[in-house]
């Protein structure tokens, strides 16, 4: 509890006693106690009639009462006591020693204000005044002023002098309170987060002093875009927050973003260099009773989207919900990998001439115990973004090799103990090619399950080549050294150069389903498929068509010279046991 009383002339107080500081009705020990205390102190009693009485006090108590403008408190009129909250505290305590015994109060205003803490301690009752207590007054002015100074420093950025993140969220919170239910028309606000792009490169190349100079100049330019009532803060290393008042909704917020982009068009001069600075701007509109941290995080989320699209973005709850789902999937996927809760399904690849099974493509599947089946199109991108694709890829490689070895053992009575006459294809992500030891992983899977490299086909997308051609070349050559087959998946949808096809040891081109599915009604698709088949033949490569869903497609592709195909016309992805049974069903 804290209260303030204005300074004024001395008034009569409740604690009546002689101003001489002594009384013949109190024990002599009280005098000794009061003189020994280094702080302002007094002894207060309660008369049988329920009246507070100042029984004794030390000179320091006198000084405080005079300094607070309440010297009249010494004369004993409860109704005219300046600091009534003090009298009420003592009255309640003397009636019940379990009542509150401490109170903070302020005397004066502004820089001249003085801050005190009053504490009460019970004393033995005396003959004339029953319940008594020791009243001590602690001057906390220096302590409170230090706390205020420290908090002000905590809320301010030392480099730019702007509010920091903590100070900014405090400002947002106050703005939200200003637009509460008590205000007839709520004041509307938006938060903009401005992220200076590629700032780390400037720090690295020119040094931190130049970086600090750029931040200060950047902040000044942002200041020039503000209108009356707007607040600018530095909320991170190269991140700034702006609280803007809006009357026309999102239009005002986007207009503020436009002003920011305009002032940044002119280059910044550092030493003798001119530097062009770009930024990403995220916008979030304040909602009723919204937490200030939540609002700020919403604007930061919009910044991430702005970096991707190249322009200011407004926070959309649906996008944030999708992001939270991706994060949740990442957490659950990590747990599922640890618990071996994923499975591999196998889609048959059919030799289009003979109709027999040429191989199976291993495809990861995940059935969550609560969410049900989660599509690979959802969890594979999450795995790539989070780095879990490395663990997922190693698991898939080992699982596929183990399944193929199990099939060999099951088929031994039919094959005379010979390996099955088909392969298993395993997909490799571009992230795996860039970060993992692919050849070592494949070699370990082959060794652990007693397989020859020719039994595996490794399928890679064009993106794995484009990102780092030199590394891709080394990976492809290492796989070929293991006698594994290398296939380029989804051919025609990426950006690979024909020179890569000629130079890299690629064995199979897989024609993307987007071309195959449109063949029967689109002459352009037919022309593309013909071109791919001719290219593969010229380079000595085999071909596999994806997405075959009708008998017409199967026969047309076979007539055009495509070696194999896969799709729902033949079979959907199957569990390991069902896939083995499918192979047996097509032997005749």
Asked if 534 and 465 sit in the same domain, the reply is yes
Residues counted in the chain: 588
* Closest alpha carbon to 279 in 222, 195, 163, 223: 195
Strand order, beta sheet including 189-196: 231-234, 239-245, 189-196, 279-285, 313-314
Q: Mean pLDDT, to the nearest integer, of 434-441? A: 94
145, 167, 184 — which closes off a domain? 145
Cα–Cα distance for residue pair 211/405, rounded to 1 Å: 59
Asked if 244 and 385 sit in the same domain, the reply is no
Phi and psi (nearest 5°) for 184? Answer: -55, -45
Cα–Cα distance for residue pair 52/55, rounded to 1 Å: 9
Asked if 354 and 457 sit in the same domain, the reply is yes
Higher pLDDT, 308 or 406: 406
At residue 29, the 3 state secondary structure works out as helix
106 Cβ contact list (under 8 Å, min separation 6) = 2, 3, 4, 5, 113, 114, 115, 116
At residue 46, the 3 state secondary structure works out as strand
Predicted local confidence at residue 440, as pLDDT: 95
Confidence grade of residue 348 (pLDDT, cut at 50, 70, 90): very high
Tell me: pLDDT of 5 over 60.
Answer: no
pLDDT in tens, 468-483: 888 888 999 999 999 9
* Closest alpha carbon to 136 in 47, 8, 40: 40
Asked if 304 and 381 sit in the same domain, the reply is no
Predicted local confidence at residue 210, as pLDDT: 87
> Residue 321: inside a domain, yes or no?
no
> Residue 523: inside a domain, yes or no?
yes
Cβ atoms of residues 101 and 120 within 8 Å? yes
Asked if 112 and 243 sit in the same domain, the reply is no
Strand order, beta sheet including 102-107: 4-5, 102-107, 114-123, 132-139, 40-46, 52-57
535 Cβ contact list (under 8 Å, min separation 6) = 498, 501, 509
> Residue 284: inside a domain, yes or no?
yes
**Domain of residue 375, CATH code:** 3.20.20.450
pLDDT in tens, 165-206: 989 998 998 887 765 444 434 458 999 999 999 888 888 778
For residue 138, what is the enclosing H or E element?
strand 132-139
Predicted local confidence at residue 250, as pLDDT: 86
Asked if 170 and 293 sit in the same domain, the reply is yes
Predicted local confidence at residue 178, as pLDDT: 64
**Domain of residue 206, CATH code:** 3.30.70.270
Predicted local confidence at residue 190, as pLDDT: 92
Tell me: pLDDT of 233 over 90.
Answer: yes
Domain housing 186? 155-315
pLDDT in tens, 369-410: 888 899 999 999 999 989 999 999 999 999 999 999 999 999
Asked if 429 and 541 sit in the same domain, the reply is yes
Cα–Cα distance for residue pair 213/218, rounded to 1 Å: 8
**Domain of residue 84, CATH code:** 3.30.450
> Residue 322: inside a domain, yes or no?
no
Higher pLDDT, 112 or 88: 88
Mean pLDDT, the chain, as a whole number? Answer: 85
Cβ atoms of residues 315 and 282 within 8 Å? yes
383, two tokens: 């795995």
Higher pLDDT, 453 or 489: 453
Strands 273-275 and 268-270: antiparallel
Predicted local confidence at residue 12, as pLDDT: 31
Tell me: pLDDT of 74 over 80.
Answer: no
198, two tokens: 């590629």
Confidence grade of residue 437 (pLDDT, cut at 50, 70, 90): very high
Cα–Cα distance for residue pair 174/197, rounded to 1 Å: 30
Tell me: pLDDT of 18 over 70.
Answer: no
> Residue 342: inside a domain, yes or no?
yes
**Number of domains observed in the structure of the chain:** 3
Asked if 387 and 257 sit in the same domain, the reply is no
Higher pLDDT, 284 or 16: 284
Asked if 107 and 38 sit in the same domain, the reply is yes
Tell me: pLDDT of 133 over 70.
Answer: yes
Tell me: pLDDT of 358 over 70.
Answer: yes
Confidence grade of residue 551 (pLDDT, cut at 50, 70, 90): very high
């Amino acid at each position: 509890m804290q209260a303030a009383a204005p300074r004024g002339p001395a008034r009569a107080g409740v604690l009546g006693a002689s101003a001489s500081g002594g009384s013949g009705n109190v024990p002599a020990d009280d005098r000794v106690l009061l003189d020994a205390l280094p702080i302002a102190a007094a002894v207060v009693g309660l008369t049988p009639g329920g009246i507070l009485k100042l029984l004794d006090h030390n000179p320091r108590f006198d000084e405080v009462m005079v300094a607070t403008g309440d010297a009249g408190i010494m004369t004993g009129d409860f109704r005219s006591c300046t600091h009534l909250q003090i009298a009420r505290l003592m009255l309640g305590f003397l009636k019940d020693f379990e009542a509150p015994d401490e109170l903070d109060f302020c005397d004066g205003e502004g820089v001249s204000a003085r801050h005190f803490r009053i504490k009460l301690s019970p004393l033995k009752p005396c003959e004339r005044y029953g319940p008594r207590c020791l009243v001590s007054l602690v001057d906390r002015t220096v302590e409170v002023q230090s706390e205020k100074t420290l908090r002000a420093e905590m809320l301010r950025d030392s480099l730019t002098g702007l509010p920091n993140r903590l100070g900014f969220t405090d400002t947002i919170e106050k703005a939200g309170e200003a637009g509460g239910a008590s205000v007839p028309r709520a004041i509307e606000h938006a938060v903009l987060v401005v992220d200076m792009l590629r700032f780390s490169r400037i720090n690295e190349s020119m040094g931190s002093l130049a970086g600090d100079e750029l931040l200060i100049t950047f902040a000044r330019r942002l200041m020039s875009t503000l209108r009356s009532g707007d607040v600018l803060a530095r909320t991170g290393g190269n991140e700034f927050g702006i609280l803007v008042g809006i009357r026309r909704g999102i239009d005002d917020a986007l207009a503020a973003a436009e002003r920011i982009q305009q002032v940044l068009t002119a280059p910044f001069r550092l030493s003798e260099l001119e530097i062009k600075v770009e930024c990403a701007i995220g916008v979030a509109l304040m909602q009723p009773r919204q937490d200030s941290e939540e609002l700020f995080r919403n604007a930061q989320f919009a910044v991430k989207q702005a970096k991707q699209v190249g322009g200011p973005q407004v926070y959309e709850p649906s996008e944030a919900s999708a992001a939270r789902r991706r994060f949740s999937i990442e957490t659950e996927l990590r747990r599922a990998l640890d618990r071996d809760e994923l499975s591999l399904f196998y889609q048959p690849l059919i030799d289009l001439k003979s109709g027999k099974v040429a191989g199976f493509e291993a495809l990861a599947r995940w059935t969550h115990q609560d969410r049900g089946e989660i599509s690979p199109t959802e969890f594979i991108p999450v795995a790539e973004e989070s780095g879990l694709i490395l663990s997922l890829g190693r698991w898939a490689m080992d699982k596929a090799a183990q399944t193929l070895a199990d099939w060999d053992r099951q088929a031994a009575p039919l094959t005379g103990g010979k390996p099955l006459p088909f392969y298993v294809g395993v997909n490799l992500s571009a992230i795996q090619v860039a970060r993992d030891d692919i050849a070592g992983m494949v070699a370990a899977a082959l060794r652990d399950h007693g397989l020859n490299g020719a039994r595996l086909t490794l399928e890679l997308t064009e993106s794995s080549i484009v990102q780092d051609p030199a590394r891709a070349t080394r990976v492809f050559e290492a796989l070929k050294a293991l006698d594994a087959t290398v296939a380029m998946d989804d051919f025609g949808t990426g950006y690979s150069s024909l020179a890569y096809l000629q130079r890299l040891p690629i064995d199979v081109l897989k024609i993307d389903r987007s071309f195959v599915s449109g063949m029967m009604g689109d002459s352009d698709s037919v022309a593309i498929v013909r071109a791919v088949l001719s290219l593969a033949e010229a380079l000595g490569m085999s071909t596999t068509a994806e997405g075959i869903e009708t008998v017409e497609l199967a026969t047309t592709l076979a007539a055009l010279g495509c070696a194999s195909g896969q799709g729902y016309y033949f079979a959907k992805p199957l569990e390991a046991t069902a896939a083995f049974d499918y192979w047996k069903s097509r032997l005749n």
